[in-house]
């Protein structure tokens, strides 16, 4: 907006992705938010037969939890830790002037007990700690996730919304459910008019063991990505279907009444799916697929 001298409300409303001055961090205009609503409604219809339990997930999570499940060790480059001021009034009187002089006003900040949420489903597992499930558990939650991406590539947003379905079930059922969802999710993306590639994938592990970890994950076909065009000449994974085997059930000691529990999840990258829809159909909702018709007044 900085380059306009006259500013009627229109232009901001019509813009879909708004610059925040920070690389990879965006705010969104009205049209984009309506599209996110329409995607939520569509995903709600798509997943209605799962009868999932909804969870509300805050965008921060226990640091100890992410240390415990191995996230910090495997993805230190993506994690945002949170720090808070632990000094007193008098000490702040000495630090506050540094806001103007350019000194380090965070000198008395200490590592807090929370970190930024990197994936929605981490909020599910601690709720299941030590439980014995009489029936499969299916959860539906949306998290504002943060990953400290260093790229300015479109769609590689540092802060983004991830809607996830998580299933806790016997090993065979969890895997079968994940497999069926690869097909269902691909069909859903096609119903939005998008061309979809399905490919085995691996997470962006960091450091020395990265290549081996990735190869192992790929060999076991634990992660599948659904890839579409989000901009000219740019394809990105917008959806992933994952099997965690006993990674979380072993750590939090939950099981099925009938035996071991495995977990699996389907993760919808909402901003990227929205970008793909905008790339394919444009920003006029009248040209969006029927599946995304915005019902007036809702």
> Is position 85 an interface residue for its own copies (rule: CB under 8 A)?
yes
Residue among 17, 276, 40, 69 nearest 142 (CA): 40
Q: Are 243 and 264 in contact (CB under 8 A)?
A: yes
Total of chain residues touching its own copies, rule CB under 8 A: 89
> Is position 152 an interface residue for its own copies (rule: CB under 8 A)?
no
Task: Check residue 132 and give left, alpha or beta (phi > 0: left; psi -120 to 50: alpha).
Answer: beta
CA 171 to chain centre: 24
| Binding flags for its own copies, 174-203, as an x/- string (CB under 8 A) | ------------------------------
Q: Is 62 or 235 the residue whose CB approaches its own copies more closely?
A: 62
Q: Is 62 or 170 the residue whose CB approaches its own copies more closely?
A: 62
Residue among 199, 244, 205, 189 nearest 224 (CA): 199
Q: Is 144 or 245 the residue whose CB approaches its own copies more closely?
A: 144
Q: Are 158 and 25 in contact (CB under 8 A)?
A: yes
3-state DSSP assignment of residue 272: helix
In the list 43, 46, 123, 265, the residue contacting its own copies (rule: CB under 8 A) is 123
Q: How far is the CB of 33 from its own copies (least distance, A)?
A: 5
Q: Candidates 138-146, 181-189, 195-203, 237-245 — which segment interacts with its own copies by CB under 8 A?
A: 138-146
| Binding flags for its own copies, 25-64, as an x/- string (CB under 8 A) | xxxxxx-xxx-x----x-----------xxxxxxxxxx-x
A 10 A CB-CB count for 295 gives 8
> Is position 212 an interface residue for its own copies (rule: CB under 8 A)?
no
| H/E element, 239 | strand 234-245
In the list 162, 196, 207, 233, the residue contacting its own copies (rule: CB under 8 A) is 207
């Amino acid at each position: 907006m900085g380059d306009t001298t006259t500013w009627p409300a229109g232009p901001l409303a019509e813009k879909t992705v708004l610059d925040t001055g920070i690389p990879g961090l965006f705010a969104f205009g009205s049209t984009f938010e309506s599209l996110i609503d329409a995607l939520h409604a569509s995903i709600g219809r798509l997943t209605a037969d799962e009868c999932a339990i909804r969870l509300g997930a805050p965008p921060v999570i226990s640091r100890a939890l992410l240390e415990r499940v191995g996230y910090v060790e495997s993805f230190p480059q993506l994690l945002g830790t949170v720090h808070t001021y632990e000094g007193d009034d008098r000490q702040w009187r000495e630090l506050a002037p540094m806001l103007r002089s350019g000194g380090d006003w965070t000198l008395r900040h200490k590592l807090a007990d929370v970190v930024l949420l990197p994936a929605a489903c981490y909020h599910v597992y601690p709720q299941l700690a030590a439980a014995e499930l009489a029936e499969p558990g299916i959860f539906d939650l949306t998290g504002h996730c943060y990953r400290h991406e260093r790229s300015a590539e479109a769609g590689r947003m540092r802060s983004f919304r991830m809607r996830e379905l998580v299933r806790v079930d016997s090993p065979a059922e969890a895997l079968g459910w994940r497999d069926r969802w690869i097909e269902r999710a691909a069909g859903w993306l096609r119903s939005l008019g998008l061309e979809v590639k399905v490919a085995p994938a691996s997470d962006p592990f960091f450091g020395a063991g990265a290549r081996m970890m990735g190869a192992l994950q790929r060999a076991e076909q634990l992660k599948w990505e659904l890839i579409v065009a989000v901009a000219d000449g740019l394809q990105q994974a917008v959806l992933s279907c994952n099997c965690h085997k006993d990674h979380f059930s072993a750590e939090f000691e939950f099981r099925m009444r009938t035996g071991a529990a495995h977990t699996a999840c389907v993760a919808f990258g909402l901003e990227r799916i929205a970008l793909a829809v905008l790339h394919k159909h444009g920003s006029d909702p009248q040209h969006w697929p029927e599946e995304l018709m915005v019902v007036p007044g809702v």
